[in-house]
Chains A and B, each alone.
Chain A
Amino acid sequence: MQHYNMNLTLKVWKQKNNKTKGGFETYPVKNVSSEMSFLEMFDVLNEQLVSEGKEPIAFDHDCREGICGMCSMVINGRAHGPWSQNTTCQLHMRAYKDGDTITVEPWRADAFPVIKDLVVDRTGFDRIIQAGGFISVNTGNAQDANALPIDKQKADESFAAASCIGCGACVAACPNASAMLFVSAKVSHLALLPQGDPERKSRAFNMVNQMDTEGFGSCTNIGACEAECPKGISLENIARLNREYIGSMMSGSSVEGTA
């Protein structure tokens, strides 16, 4: 693999806090190595800004290996940038060439208010989990793990849904800012397992309700969420959520408590 250096122009969303209006600012970045990650390029830019006495750009990040779900940038209009099934932190600069201009924005959704610059508030996702994204089992209640065999295919499907990292790219990519892919991934993870069965009706109903309360939009089957999801969470999960939701409505047991 040939490595190279490049000069870039960055147009980045700057916003002091959620009470002020934001806007784009333009920054030249020089001598970026193709081996850097996208966030390391931001580190270099921020170091440069600090040395010039300017304020660095705030962005969320933590593990930098694509699993914590904290990084969240819309890059040239795409959540997590141009590579498929990838997070911002795993995007590397060999995706770009000398002279490129790159526009970087925060996740945009009413339910994800901007905290500062590229940092948004995603606590709505936690509240959706609180509404039912769990199995009610207290510590110490469990039977032997192998007492309950689970069909490998079902377990694998459940795992695929559970690999959601809760980053919110699905919401950022959706023109309606819907959180259906996120909610459906959790509902699927638990509905596919026998352990999740006792609460499946109240779970689907209550999580969807909370999603609406948070102000996420409706699903109109566009599929942008699946296309931009860094973990390849499938749209089939949304179909399953719809079945689960209808099932809970029909049974009339939906309004019961969750825990």
Chain B
Amino acid sequence: MPLNSKIPAGPIDSKWKTYKATCKLVNPANKRSLEVIVVGTGLAGASAAASLGEMGYKVKAFCFQDSPRRAHSIAAQGGINAAKNYQNDGDSTYRLFYDTIKGGDYRAREGNVHRLAEVSANIIDQCVAAGVPFAREYGGLLSNRSFGGTQVQRTFYAAGQTGQQLLIGAYQGLERQVSLGNVEMHSRHEMLEVVMVDGVARGIIARDLVTGKLERHFGHAVLLCTGGYGNVFYLSTNAMGSNVTAAWKAHKQGAYFGNPCFTQIHPTCIPVSGDHQSKLTLMSESLRNDGRIWVPKQKNDQRKPSEIKEEERDYYLERRYPAFGNLVPRDVASRAAKERCDAGYGVGSSKMAVYLDFGAAIERYGKIEANKQGKPNLSKEEIIVLGKGVVKEKYGNLFDMYEKITGENPYEMPMRIYPAVHYTMGGLWVDYELMTTVPGLYALGEANFSDHGANRLGASALMQGLADGYFVIPYTLGNRLADDIRTKAIPTDHPAFVAAEKEVSDRINKLMSIKGTESVESFHKRLGKIMWEKCGMARNEKGLKEAIEEIKALRKEFWSNVRIPGDIDEFNPELDKAGRVADFIELGELMCIDALNRNESCGGHFREEYQTEEGEALRDDEKFMYVAAWEYKGEGQFELHKEDLNYEVVHPSARSYK
């Protein structure tokens, strides 16, 4: 099937306007008889379910957590971008569009990204109206800060809990629709299959995670808002339950998977402390506004950071990238940290960490504060006390979190940080309307591949999730459902539902019948180790080929030796996890195949064979300026389809932050 991205014709800044002015509409009476299934209740899912409910559609929403408010969007810390230009510093829709295309290393679609930049301002308006308490200045207006890969201040935030505040806003809108009867909420439910009727997605099979019962749910359309798949690496900043299962089931039903190897490794996370580690914790990118990153100039330096003098420190980001300094994009900062540690300059007991130091910021803020208070003659110690107060107000919750985890006080000594898996730019391939290659099946937010190319800029994930849910899908879904108003709700005793449920039930029975000796957790850890070592921050042909073989062997072993305690018809988290790990194993193989196919380095995808003399990513626009969309062709078999990327506005060039 040829890929049609359905980008509207016309100049970049009128594509979305033209689309909205010409797309088909569904009248209010007809909306009442159209049913929509929304899987996942993070920013994309909650905002979509609430908005569609408001419009009059009959919505059913699903989440695996005990409440829709728990979805992992809640953990986003630093902020959300919007081209408001409230700071009068030269921002505009075009700038946000340009920064995002460049930040993504010219592997994202212009049309989608421009739309994202256009609706970004509406998102802030909507959230404020819904009661999201963003940070404000004394004049009562909204405050902004900087994030990586940009030279303007366009990031709106709520301390280090922006994701929480945005999600609670969307969740409250969702619960309002539940109370009005427009949305039916199913928590502690996991989607395990897409039901296809005559080649169209018409429902899902979901498992009630409390009783273990399988349920059939019909929908005229199905929206997957199920987040990213970073947990394929076992250790990541994702929540423990974040998984690829819904997206993977869709993939096996015909939805192409776009750019699966594009993974974001976030530069500032708390380093691994031991084998017991279950997850990694992010320290927000906003900290790079004020923190300076360094390692000792001397190899294998055993001294405490306080004993290492200024001239003995290598502020390697400021040295290598003077124009952006500590605020280079994430992929660049992560690779630079790895380079220093691999070369023997790492710090801490594992030597796989670098310092993020607030000493200079504390002193700088202390002086400003002293002046504000009219006390210019304070001692250095007194200035530092004042400065710590300012830093506490800006980043207090992050500093507290660091101290709880490490037992070290970051006000007194620099944080130790190291890159960790954080976000996946890849995901289900979607067209301009956010529809996958399966008619009637949509993917929103991190679950799709569309807006961030090969590297996502900080504070853009929240923007995309809410853009898709609040402002894109309400239009694009109507454009399809306008032709579906004569389709009556399909009863769930239809053979397609029966067959899909049997498929799921057989798979669960098969898993339970293995009765092997090795735990699900252990398989997941082994998969993660392969992925991190061979498909992580740096990849090469030999490693990827080995990884593919190792993953194939692991899959075999999993299906013959996994041990799942308990029963099917009860609350059984081990069984839930087993299904997810089985899907991660299959996805891991595809990620390696995709990484092996892409003989270039771009954004977060760094192939060691393709780099400049200075160690920067070396793109090959001649051969690889395309989206790799993979079609599932049976176990371990995938066929590549290419969507060429056309840059009509931005001219791809070597990405430079020097």
Q: Contacts A58-B573, A64-B278, A152-B136 known; A133 to B175 CB distance under 8 Å?
A: yes
B133's partner among A36, A68, A189 (CB-CB below 8 A) is: A189
Query: In the complex, what's the smallest C-beta–C-beta distance from B365 to chain A, in angstroms?
Result: 18
**A163 and B164 contacting across the interface, CB-CB below 8 Å:** yes
The minimal Cβ–Cβ distance linking B556 to chain A, given in whole angstroms, is 21
Whether A139 pairs with B279 at a CB distance below 8 angstroms is: no
Query: With an 8 A cutoff between CB atoms, is A250 at the interface?
Result: no
How does the 8 Å CB contact mask read for A24-52 relative to B, with 1 for contact and 0 for none? 00000000010111011001101101110
Name the residue of chain A whose CB is nearest to the CB of B52: A139
Interface string of B397-417 (1 = CB under 8 A from A): 000110011111000000000
- B50: chain A residues within 8 A (beta carbon): 139
Closest to A41 in B: B276
A134-B274 contact in complex given A68-B75, A149-B139, C-beta closer than 8 Å: no
Query: Does A125 contact B74, Cβ atoms closer than 8 Å?
Result: no
A227 at interface, CB cutoff 8 A? no
CB distance from B226 to the nearest CB of A (A): 14
In Å, the complex CA distance between A166 and B134 comes to 20
Closest B residue to A35 using CB positions: B273
Q: Is the CB of A146 within 8 A of B519?
A: no
Q: Are B133 and A162 in contact (CB under 8 A)?
A: yes
Among the listed A54, A92, A149, A159, which residue makes an inter-chain contact with B141, where contact means beta carbons less than 8 Å apart? A149
| 0/1 interface trace, chain A 188-205, chain B, CB 8 Å (1 if under) | 011001011000000000
- Whether a CB of chain A sits under 8 angstroms from the CB of B1 is no
A246, CB-defined interface residue at 8 Å: no
Are A90 and B404 in touch, CB under 8 angstroms? yes
CA distance A33 to B406 in the complex (A): 13
Pick from B140, B159, B281, B574: contact of A65, CB under 8 Å: B281
Quote the shortest CB–CB distance from A203 to chain B (angstroms). 11
Interface residues in B, total, Cβ within 8 A: 85
Docked Cα-Cα span, A46 to B278, in Å, equals 13
In A106-141, which residues have CB < 8 Å from any B CB? Answer: 115-116, 119, 121-123, 125-126, 129-131, 133-141
A237 to chain B, nearest CB (A): 14
Given contacts A54-B565, A64-B239, whether A130 and B179 have CB atoms under 8 Å apart is: yes
Q: Which residues of A contact B408 (CB under 8 A)?
A: 1
User: Which partner residue on chain B sits nearest A59 by CB separation?
Assistant: B573
Whether B86 contacts A121 by the Cβ 8 Å rule is no
Q: How far is the CA of A104 from the CA of B470 in the complex (A)?
A: 42
Interface SS of A by simple majority: loop
Is the CB of B168 closer than 8 A to any CB of chain A?
A: yes
> Which residue from chain B places its CB closest to the CB of A193 in the assembled complex?
B131
**CA of A90 to CA of B270, assembled, Å:** 13
| CB pair A50 B574 closer than 8 Å | yes
Question: What B residues does A103 contact at CB under 8 A?
Answer: none
Contact indicator B67/A122 (Cβ below 8 Å): yes
Q: In the complex the two chains form, is A196's CB within 8 Å of B131's CB?
A: yes
Q: Is the Cβ of A139 less than 8 Å from the Cβ of B84?
A: no
Within 8 Å of chain B (Cβ to Cβ): is A100? no
Q: Fill in one digit per residue for A72-94: 1 if any B CB lies within 8 Å of its CB, else 0.
A: 00000000000101100011101
- CA separation between A197 and B317, bound complex, in Å? 48
Hey, which chain A residues are within 8 Å of B137, CB to CB?
152
A-B pairs with lowest CB-CB distance, top 8: A149-B140, A134-B172, A142-B129, A142-B125, A130-B179, A159-B133, A1-B407, A145-B128
State which residues 119-165 of B face A: CB under 8 Å. 122, 124-131, 133-142, 158-159, 161, 163-165
Which residues in B have their C-beta under 8 angstroms from that of A16? Answer: 570
A150 close to B (CB within 8 Å): yes
Q: Which residues of A contact B (CB under 8 A)?
A: 1, 16-17, 33, 35-37, 39-40, 43-44, 46-47, 49-51, 53-56, 58, 60-70, 83, 85-86, 90-92, 94, 115-116, 119, 121-123, 125-126, 129-131, 133-146, 148-152, 155-156, 158-159, 162-163, 165-166, 189-190, 193, 195-196, 258-259
Q: Are B133 and A138 in contact (CB under 8 A)?
A: no
Q: How far is the CA of A150 from the CA of B138 in the complex (A)?
A: 9
**In the assembled complex, which residues on chain B have CB atoms less than 8 Å from the CB atom of A115?**
210, 571
Using a CB–CB distance below 8 Å, which chain B residues touch chain A? Answer: 47, 50-51, 54, 65-72, 74-75, 84, 86, 122, 124-131, 133-142, 158-159, 161, 163-165, 168, 171-173, 175-176, 178-180, 185, 187, 210, 239-241, 273-274, 276-279, 281-282, 400-401, 404-408, 470-471, 474, 517, 519, 521-522, 563, 565-566, 570-571, 573-574
Given A162-B133, A193-B131, A43–B140 Cβ distance below 8 Å?
no
A259 CB contact (under 8 Å) in B122, B131, B180, B401: B180
Q: Is the CB of A1 within 8 A of B406?
A: yes
A38 to chain B, nearest CB (A): 11
CB distance B240 to A64 under 8 Å? yes
Can you sample 16 A-B contacts with CB below 8 Å?
A1-B407, A17-B571, A35-B273, A36-B276, A37-B405, A39-B278, A47-B519, A47-B521, A47-B522, A51-B519, A54-B565, A61-B240, A64-B278, A66-B401, A123-B187, A145-B142
In the complex, are the beta carbons of A137 and B179 less than 8 A apart?
Answer: no
Residue of B70, B72, B158, B571 near A119 (CB, 8 A) is B571
- What is the CA–CA distance of A192 and B644 in the complex, to the nearest angstrom? 51
Bound-state CA distance A165–B168 (Å) is 9
The interface residues of chain A lying within 8 Å CB-to-CB of B142 are 145-146
Query: Which of A67, A156, A193 has its CB near the most chain B CB atoms (within 10 A)?
Result: A67
Tell me which of B142, B239, B563 has the highest count of chain A C-beta atoms within 10 A of its own C-beta.
B239
